[in-house]
Chain A
Amino acid sequence: MTRTDEELVALSMRGDTESFDQLILRWERPIYALAYRVIGREEEARDVVQETFLRAYRGIGNFRGQAKFSSWIYRIALNLCRDWIRKERRTPISPVPEGVDLAEMASERGPAESIEELVARHDLSRVVAKAMEQLPEEQRTAIILKEYHGMTFQEIADLQGCPLSTVKTRLYQGLVVLRRRLQQEGHEASGMAQ
């Protein structure tokens, strides 16, 4: 039987570490994806995931359930990412390597994807990552939460602590800058491509 987050949280609050392990299993990969895209480093993203769940475990007694568990843990992870960026005083580094590992790429290739298409996708991924890292942190985070985590405007506003209209503005401005940079890199951004 699959338990809901709320049920697992309730069990965890009573000291059931296995329930908390299930929460980790359920949310570690989205949190890693968030941390990886925000700070742009694999190892540091792992550290953020570990610290996020450690803090959540230690603070589970203070979780009152006003928000969803996922929102709570996203907030912890985002705060850690901000702390890391502030502490390191460096902009996120593009995580996509310049070189192409064909063996690794081949394992990620879709069933109908040719090698040429696979290489083109990786090249585009590198360009997107580089364009994203140049965005202001607020715009980058808003786009990440919207595009890769499917959050609503209101959820993003709650996480970022800003009005809903500000979230829309950040999204719009970020997308416009990305479109321009992609065009500069030779990737014409057109909805006709999809």
Chain B
Amino acid sequence: MTIVMRCEEKDRLVGYLYDECSAAERSAVEAHLSRCAICAAELDGLRGVRTHLASWTEPRVDLGFRITRDPVAPMPHRSWTIPAWAQAAAAVLVLAAGAGLANLQIEYGSGGLTLRTGWGSAPGNVAPTAEAPAPKVATVEQLQEVEQRLRAALASRQSAPPAASLAGSPAGRAAAAGSPELAPQIRAIVAESEERQRKEFAFRLAQAVRDLENQRSTDLVRIEQNLRQLEGVTGEQVQGQHEMMNYLRRVSSSPRP
């Protein structure tokens, strides 16, 4: 198939200009240019523009882009650590304080055995009786005092200069050795707190047993009274029945008029 180019077919001229056309199109354009001076001059002018365009160069710049990842921020280094014995003491203190602050109470009454925890004053029916000795209960204030003493001990240890900078002084050696005079104090405080908790628990358990025994005795007396009352009622009824039977026998055995 033969292609014939016309002057207005500029797309063919552009294809020829950039040498991006088929062989048939190229032949058609060349045939047209050979007989059309206007299109030939235009093609020459467009080639000149392309030559001028080549002079436009981009500046030489340093690029060198690279993909980089943001460095992960390191965890802040802790200059001191809490000794294991202090952590253990703190754990015991928290448990003891929790039990004390929870106001643990054991009660036995008509409703059965009751364990009660929580804030607030104890109910009146479980208040210590007059004959019972006043229980030695670890109060919140006492536990807070223990906690404050522990915190003060820890703070004094943390505020002490680093061991490395005090390596030559007695205080530094004591601190480096883990404060040997402080550890017994902590252990004594913890032992004291544990002893108080143990005594309180024993007292409350004994009180519960005593209340249980009293309630059992009261119940037995009441049951015995009820039984006797029931027996009395029954005896009176039996006696009435006997009297009725006797009356009937007398009436039935007497001669009729």
Contact = CB atoms under 8 A, between A and B. Distances in A.
Interface of A: 17, 20-21, 24, 28-29, 32-33, 36-37, 42, 46, 49-50, 53, 57, 95, 108, 121, 124-125, 127-129, 132, 143, 146-148, 152-153, 165, 168-169, 171-172, 175-176, 178-179, 182, 187-194
B51 interface: yes
Contacts of A193: 48, 51
Interface of B: 10-11, 13-15, 18, 20, 43-61, 63-67, 69
B48 A194 contact: yes
Contact of B61 (A20, A32, A125, A143): A32
A125 B55 contact: yes
A189 B54 CA distance: 12
A178 B11 contact: no
Given A21-B66, A21-B67, A32-B63, A172 B13 contact: yes
Contacts of B13: 172
Nearest to B15: A168
Contact of B43 (A37, A125, A132, A191): A191
The 5 closest A-B pairs by CB, nearest first: A191-B47, A189-B48, A190-B48, A168-B11, A191-B44
Contacts of A178: 49, 52-53
Contacts of B53: 128, 143, 147-148, 178
B55 A124 contact: yes
Contacts of A29: 63
A156 B45 CA distance: 23
A190 B48 CA distance: 4
A180 to B, nearest CB: 9
Nearest to B50: A147
25 contacts: A20-B67, A21-B67, A28-B65, A33-B58, A36-B58, A42-B61, A50-B65, A53-B65, A125-B56, A127-B52, A128-B56, A152-B20, A165-B11, A168-B11, A168-B14, A169-B11, A171-B14, A171-B18, A172-B11, A175-B46, A175-B50, A190-B44, A190-B48, A191-B51, A194-B47
A125 B58 CA distance: 10
Nearest to B12: A168
B51 A194 contact: yes
A148 B64 CA distance: 21
B30 to A, nearest CB: 15
Contacts of B44: 190-192
Contact of A49 (B11, B15, B65): B65
B48 A188 contact: yes
A171 B47 CA distance: 12
B58 A179 contact: no
Nearest to B59: A42
Contacts of A146: 18
Given A20-B67, A32-B58, A147-B53, 19 more contacts: A17-B69, A21-B66, A21-B67, A28-B63, A28-B65, A29-B63, A36-B59, A125-B56, A128-B55, A146-B18, A153-B18, A172-B10, A172-B46, A179-B45, A188-B48, A189-B45, A190-B47, A190-B48, A194-B47
Contact of B56 (A17, A37, A49, A53): A37
A179 B57 contact: no
Contacts of B11: 165, 168-169, 172
A189 B47 CA distance: 8
